[in-house]
Structure 1
């Protein structure tokens, strides 16, 4: 998958883009550059700027710094930079600086979410960084006061004390900037199953 950044000449700050792990990202260069212009690409994070490449113009190839050798492709004609097989560690700000101007791009690299629900009405994100988890019962949103976050990737729905009205189909929706996934679970209440027509007889019981 190739992700394209829009140009940001009129933007007040860095342009933000989220993409998936393993994809390729094209960072646009500066407008109105010439073949003889010098360009510098840098990666900015909490520890300071890290050089990616330095192009001094002309026919000489750019000086590409590790760890970008073999997975970064520079286009001298427009100054753009193609990053291949991006990983979560590539998240951060990228800055291109020319003779007359500079631009910044904010990249967020995320893993696709893999979520599952268990018999105890727990929604757990097995892979990826989650931004939010929401719960529904029979298609209707549940009140946030019935839900607790056990960790950044795990949410539990409380059904205590269990009632007949708690029987039904529950679903949790986990999402981040690039993907979302919904998983569902049929819940029965032990001792009340015969009074709950909407419950599946094969679903794991939730004890009273």
Structure 2
């Protein structure tokens, strides 16, 4: 083997060793976990000091095993660094520690961050991003069961303790060392804890179970998840009543249901949803449907569908429309009244005539009797 080749190899190895020693013993390439919340800031500190102007710095991001994406590339003797489009205006590079601050965290920022200094891998940092801005919304029916979700495999690492709370009350404490889960009495016989991902199965749901649940890893507020549980009673079957059945009148159909938390009330006729228009008017959160001016064509089957987050019920009503238009109906009523009065007047006249005829006959008999009496005298 040629001495010049051996000398080149030894020189290369020596330079690498000197570079690693410059980073410090505890800064050898390795991996650490960092946790952050959406919208907050996080510091990625590789703990390696260097003079920025004398170094080439490269930060890259790897997500789910895909090809690394360069997020920051700082060239030696340059005074500016160029972040990638994803991190534009959100990065700050410390010129001494080479740490990287990411502001306004996003879920897409989660992944493995690696820093290379002068061509040598210095550190890999695993960033986990949690979204605590809005709780997860879940709905469940009274008497049923629901699984309150835990964490994904990526988020459920290095777990020592898991704590579940309901409002301000701790309902579960799990210790990884002993692998035991301790429940408070009111949850002991109706909960199952899954230590593989921290999820919680809640059985025999009651209205009192509605509220905010929080699961936390290692008492770390960042490594948390909130679930807002809403509890509903299944909706009963509604009933429908109407106020009129005559043509040219405003016919109102009322959909009556005792449930309070309704997400929607819909009216149907002939397979089509009824909406507010020139013929129909919906009031009282759609519970009342008014046919503004009923005609014979409005006869048919009307269906009311009520729904909440856990159930749906419907009821149908057959609407028959009778009679003539109101004006004709009123005219007929007036005619009947007039006929009654006319009949009464005729009756009175007949009675009067009969009385007069009877009185005339009496007068005639009296006259005849008087004449006969005079003749006898």
Question: Given the two structures, how large is their TM-score scaled by the length of structure 1?
Answer: 0.70
Contact 2:142 2:232 in 1 (8 A): yes
Q: Distance in 1 between matches of 2:166 and 2:227?
A: 10
Are positions 1:147 and 2:271 aligned together? no
Aligned length: 176
**How far is the alpha carbon of 1:41 from its aligned partner?**
0.3
Q: Distance in 2 between matches of 1:17 and 1:51?
A: 20
**How far is the alpha carbon of 1:181 from its aligned partner?**
2.3
Q: Distance in 2 between matches of 1:179 and 1:10?
A: 32
Q: Which residue in the other structure is 1:167 paired with?
A: 299
Contact 1:115 1:123 in 2 (8 A): no
1:131-176 C-alpha deviation (Å, 9 max, x unpaired): 1111122233323362222xx7x81222465433332211111112
Q: Which residue in the other structure is 2:5 paired with?
A: none
Greater Rg over alpha carbons, structure: 2
Structure 1, unmatched stretches of 5+, are 1-8, 193-208
Contact 1:131 1:177 in 2 (8 A): yes
Contact 1:17 1:108 in 2 (8 A): yes
Q: Distance in 2 between matches of 1:134 and 1:32?
A: 44
Q: Distance in 1 between matches of 2:272 and 2:239?
A: 17
Q: Which has the higher strand share?
A: 1
Q: Distance in 2 between matches of 1:78 and 1:157?
A: 49
Are positions 1:58 and 2:177 aligned together? yes
Q: Which residue in the other structure is 2:194 paired with?
A: 75
Are positions 1:132 and 2:226 aligned together? no
- Of structures 1 and 2, the one scoring higher in RCO (CA 8 A, sep 6+) is 1
Q: Which residue in the other structure is 1:92 paired with?
A: 211
SS at match of 2:320: strand
In angstroms, what is the RMSD of aligned CA positions? 2.7
**How far is the alpha carbon of 1:83 from its aligned partner?**
0.5
Q: Which residue in the other structure is 2:238 paired with?
A: 116
Question: Given the two structures, how large is their TM-score scaled by the length of structure 2?
Answer: 0.41
Contact 2:164 2:172 in 1 (8 A): yes
Contact 2:241 2:255 in 1 (8 A): no
